[in-house]
């Protein structure tokens, strides 16, 4: 049998090779799954991973889908670096959409240039508020942030459904659940004629660079890193664990909320019962696939967005269930976690000496 | 007077019966997770394993026409899913929190894919047990002896787990592994093998809990039908301070809240349905806060090695 020998420092080669390897092996596994389903694996894989990148509209859709994934993924990576497990980003995203979108619902005749900035601000605050609950309960009562943040996802989903079916329902909507369409002043302008690409994507593109600066160049970023890798050392050097929990959860919640309001005000243009295909959960994978590094998260978000669009295309043109996308996402993370072994350990095969020993 | 009492008892009995059926998936899943955590492994994939159990159980029952085979398939599918987790965390030493999340995401995707063709299909449900004489006792008969067999199995498994942990040799070994893996290894116990067994048991039970949902409780398959029950089961283990007896209490409490909010929605109290549906989730948060407030109690009861990877030095 082989033996694991710890490395003295993490292997950078392994750290950056493992996401690529995970993607490749997921594609191979996907091919096997497609074969088992009686489909031509080559054609199906092309639909999933290549087709979306070959047309202008495909690229535009990838950017639209990558937006929320990257934004939420970057927020989560702050927490994950510090060992704060916020897995309720889906709820914070919805809370942001409710808070920001609510403004456009109430002022649906507004033409004010202030409406959009106010919505983005309020959406961020909405997400932060939703994340503040697990932060408060963690720091004050020691309650597990994983479970609290997750439970709030269900609460936020139910609240959104209630609002769009009840008090906020479009009076001219023939009874369908959903709010009025947001006014022009409350909608993110489109960037290209005939495509859904909107100004939100530009905001999203700025986030990785700001996050990279914060993490790599500020004292705050350094504290998060120390806290995650050596909590005891961090505590002895005066880093307050409560403060880190608050800060990382607020950053994660704020960015998820911003993603939610951008989606509502850009891609959708109103509030509906379902405003996310699970972005908040998929962003967890995006964060890990991007190695919790802002620029890595950007690349990972684009890669995962391709599979989303590919999944939609494959459903339409090849009748493959969209759920395959979700399966791929789980498998990618499995492979990634398995390969992580090589960043921390070296595999040592037994030689004659060690056997005799 | 007696009529009044009888009438009030008759209105109380059915809700208590449904409360037990609502509690049973939680009993299974939480018992499995409790054994798993006692061995020092935190598996956050309960929701995913339940979904996998639910879909494979339902598909098997739909194809074979046998609900019992369906339950078996649910348990086996849950266990196989947990083995992926076990290999990653125990052999390849991956982070348990991240791997558990991955298992839940994987289970959600896999179950949606497998269940794609079964949405809207119905199957024959497993009937309730009818014991001669016992089930015919007025009131108590139906209350105690009138459930489906799985309700009793759940309670049996729970009691059995309590006995196993506290009174059997291997139960104590399992606790030793969870409280001090290094010492258990030094004495010569196979730490990794014991953890593999505990994780598999957790998967088996989560799968069974999921199968109960799709085969008996509803009985149908819908995407994401567990609706957070796997996560509530995880919270129940903390709530129970890692003691099996309290798991039963907690599961019945949550079963009660689920049924109470459904009844209140049906009665139409003027409270929007969505707010009533939030109750089980909000109750979970409240319960977690109340229990976790006492940090010392958590630290005393939680397995000391919970969530930490173990690698044999030699």
Low-confidence stretches of chain B (pLDDT beneath 50): none
- Which of B102, B113, B293 has its CB closest to that of A141? B293
Q: How far is B169 from chain A (nearest CA, A)?
A: 30
* Chain A environment of B99 (Cβ under 8 Å): 334, 337
Cα(A252)–Cα(B302) distance, integer angstroms: 28
Main-chain phi, psi angles of A6, to 5 degrees:
-65, 140
Tokens 């309650």: give the residue: A143
Q: Does B238 touch chain A (CB under 8 A)?
A: yes
Quick one: pLDDT at residue A348?
77
Tell me if B281 and A151 make a contact (CB, 8 A cut-off).
Answer: yes
Cα(A315)–Cα(A277) distance, integer angstroms: 15
Tell me if A142 and B284 make a contact (CB, 8 A cut-off).
Answer: no
List the domain boundaries for chain A: 3-356
Cα(A263)–Cα(A269) distance, integer angstroms: 8
Q: Does B170 touch chain A (CB under 8 A)?
A: no
CA angle, corner A144, sides to A147 and B205, nearest 5? 50
Q: Contact at 8 Å (CB) between A202 and A262?
A: no
CA distances from B295 to A7, A149, A235, A333, B289 (A): 35, 19, 18, 33, 11
Q: Does A281 touch chain B (CB under 8 A)?
A: yes
Quick one: pLDDT at residue B197?
95
What ipTM describes this predicted complex? 0.88
Quick one: pLDDT at residue B161?
93
What three-state secondary structure class fits B184? Answer: helix
User: CA torsion angle for B234, B235, B236, B242 (degrees, to 10)?
Assistant: 80
* Chain B environment of A280 (Cβ under 8 Å): none
For residue A244, give the nearest of A230, A257, A258, A260 by alpha carbon: A230
Q: Contact at 8 Å (CB) between B305 and B176?
A: no
Tell me if A345 and B93 make a contact (CB, 8 A cut-off).
Answer: yes
Quick one: pLDDT at residue A357?
42
Q: Which residues of B215-230 are buried (b: 16+ CB within 10 A; e: fewer)?
A: bbbebbbbeebbbbbb
Q: Does B228 touch chain A (CB under 8 A)?
A: yes
Stated as kind and residue range, the H or E segment containing A5 is strand A3-6
pLDDT digit string (tens) for chain A, length 357 residues: 667 777 777 777 777 888 889 889 998 998 898 888 888 888 888 888 888 888 888 888 899 999 999 999 999 999 999 889 999 999 999 999 999 999 999 998 888 889 999 999 999 999 999 999 999 999 999 898 988 999 999 999 999 999 998 889 888 878 788 888 898 888 888 887 778 888 888 888 899 999 999 988 888 888 888 887 777 787 787 778 888 899 999 999 999 999 999 999 988 889 999 999 889 999 998 998 898 999 999 999 999 999 888 888 888 877 777 778 888 888 988 999 888 888 878 777 766 555 444
Tell me if B93 and A341 make a contact (CB, 8 A cut-off).
Answer: yes
Q: Does B74 touch chain A (CB under 8 A)?
A: no
What three-state secondary structure class fits A345? Answer: strand
3-state class percentages of chain A: helix first, strand second, coil last, to nearest 5: 70, 5, 25
Chain B residue with minimal CA distance to A286? B102
Tell me if B109 and A323 make a contact (CB, 8 A cut-off).
Answer: yes
Question: Measured between alpha carbons, how far apart are the two ends of chain A, in Å?
Answer: 14
Residue ranges of domains in chain B, CATH in brackets: 14-301 (1.10.3470)
Instruction: Output the CATH code of domain A3-356.
Output: 1.10.3470
Q: Count the alpha carbons within 13 Å of A68 in the hemisphere toward its beta carbon.
A: 32
Quick one: pLDDT at residue B126?
64
* Chain B environment of A161 (Cβ under 8 Å): 274
Strand partners, A346: A5
Quick one: pLDDT at residue A356?
46
Q: Count the alpha carbons within 13 Å of B228 in the hemisphere toward its beta carbon.
A: 25
Cα(B212)–Cα(B219) distance, integer angstroms: 8
Q: Which two tokens stand for residue A114?
A: 């202030």
For residue B28, give the nearest of B217, B195, B179 by alpha carbon: B217
CB within 8 Å of chain A, chain B residues 258-287:
272-275, 277-278, 281-282, 284-285
Quick one: pLDDT at residue B305?
85
Chain A residue with minimal CA distance to B98? A337
* Chain A environment of B286 (Cβ under 8 Å): none
Q: Identify the residue among B272, B297, B309 best suited for mutation to test binding to A, counting A beta carbons within 10 A and taking the highest.
A: B272
């Amino acid at each position: 049998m082989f033996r694991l020998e710890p490395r003295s420092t993490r292997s950078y080669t392994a750290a950056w090779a493992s996401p690529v390897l995970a993607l490749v092996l997921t594609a191979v596994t996907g091919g096997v799954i497609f074969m088992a389903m009686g489909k031509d694996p080559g054609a199906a894989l092309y639909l999933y991973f290549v087709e979306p990148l070959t047309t202008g509209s495909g690229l535009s859709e990838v950017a639209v889908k990558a937006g929320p994934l990257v934004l939420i993924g970057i927020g989560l990576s702050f927490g994950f670096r510090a060992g704060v497990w916020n897995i309720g980003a889906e709820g914070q995203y919805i809370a942001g959409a409710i808070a920001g979108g609510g403004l456009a619902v109430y002022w649906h005749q507004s033409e004010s240039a202030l409406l959009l900035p106010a919505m983005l601000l309020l959406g961020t605050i909405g997400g932060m508020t939703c994340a503040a609950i697990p932060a408060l309960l963690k720091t004050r009562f020691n309650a597990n942030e994983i479970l609290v943040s997750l439970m709030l996802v269900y609460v936020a989903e139910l609240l959104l459904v209630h609002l769009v079916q009840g008090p906020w329902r479009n009076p001219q909507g023939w009874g369908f659940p959903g709010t009025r369409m947001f006014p022009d002043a409350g909608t993110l302008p489109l960037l290209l004629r005939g495509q859904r690409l909107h100004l939100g994507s530009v905001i999203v593109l700025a986030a990785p660079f700001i996050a990279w600066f914060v993490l790599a160049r500020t004292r705050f970023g350094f504290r998060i890193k120390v806290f995650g890798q050596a909590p005891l050392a961090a505590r002895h050097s005066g880093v307050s664990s409560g403060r880190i929990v608050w800060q990382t959860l607020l950053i994660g919640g704020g960015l998820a909320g911003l993603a939610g309001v951008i989606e509502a005000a850009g891609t959708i243009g109103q509030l509906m019962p379902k405003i996310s295909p699970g972005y908040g959960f998929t962003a967890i994978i995006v964060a890990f696939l991007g190695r919790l590094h802002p620029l890595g998260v950007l690349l990972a978000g684009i890669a995962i967005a391709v599979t989303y669009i590919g999944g939609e295309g494959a459903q339409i043109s090849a009748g493959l269930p969209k759920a395959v996308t979700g399966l791929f996402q789980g498998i990618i993370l499995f492979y990634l976690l398995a390969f992580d072994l090589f960043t921390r350990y070296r595999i040592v095969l037994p030689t004659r000496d060690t056997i005799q020993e | 007077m007696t009529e009044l009492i009888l009438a009030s008892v008759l209105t109380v009995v059915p809700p208590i019966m449904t409360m037990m059926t609502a509690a049973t998936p939680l009993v299974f899943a939480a018992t499995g997770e409790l054994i798993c955590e006692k061995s020092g492994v935190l598996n956050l994939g309960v929701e995913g394993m339940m979904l996998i159990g639910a879909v494979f159980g339902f598909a098997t029952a739909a194809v074979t026409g046998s609900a019992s085979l369906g339950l078996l398939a649910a348990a086996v599918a849950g266990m196989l899913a947990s083995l992926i987790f076990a290999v990653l965390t125990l052999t390849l030493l991956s982070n348990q929190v991240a791997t558990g999340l991955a298992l839940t995401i994987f289970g959600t995707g896999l179950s949606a894919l497998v269940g794609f063709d079964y949405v809207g299909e119905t199957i024959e449900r497993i009937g309730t047990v009818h014991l001669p004489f016992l089930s015919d006792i007025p009131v108590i008969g139906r209350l105690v002896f009138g459930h489906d067999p799985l309700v009793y199995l759940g309670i049996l498994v729970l009691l059995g787990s309590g006995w196993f942990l506290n009174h059997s040799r291997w139960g104590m070994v399992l606790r030793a592994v969870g409280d001090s893996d290094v010492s258990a290894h030094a004495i010569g116990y196979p730490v990794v093998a014991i953890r593999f067994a505990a994780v598999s048991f957790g998967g088996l039970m989560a799968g069974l809990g999921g199968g109960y949902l799709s085969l008996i409780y509803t009985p149908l398959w819908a995407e994401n039908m567990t609706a957070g029950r796997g996560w509530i089961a995880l919270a129940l283990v903390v709530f129970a301070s890692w003691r099996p007896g309290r798991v039963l209490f907690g599961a019945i409490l949550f079963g009660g809240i689920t049924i109470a909010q459904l009844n209140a929605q049906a009665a139409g109290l003027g409270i929007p349905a969505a707010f009533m549906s939030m109750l089980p989730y909000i109750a979970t948060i409240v319960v977690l806060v109340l229990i976790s407030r006492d940090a010392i109690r958590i630290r005393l009861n939680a397995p000391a090695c919970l969530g930490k990877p173990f690698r044999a030095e030699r």
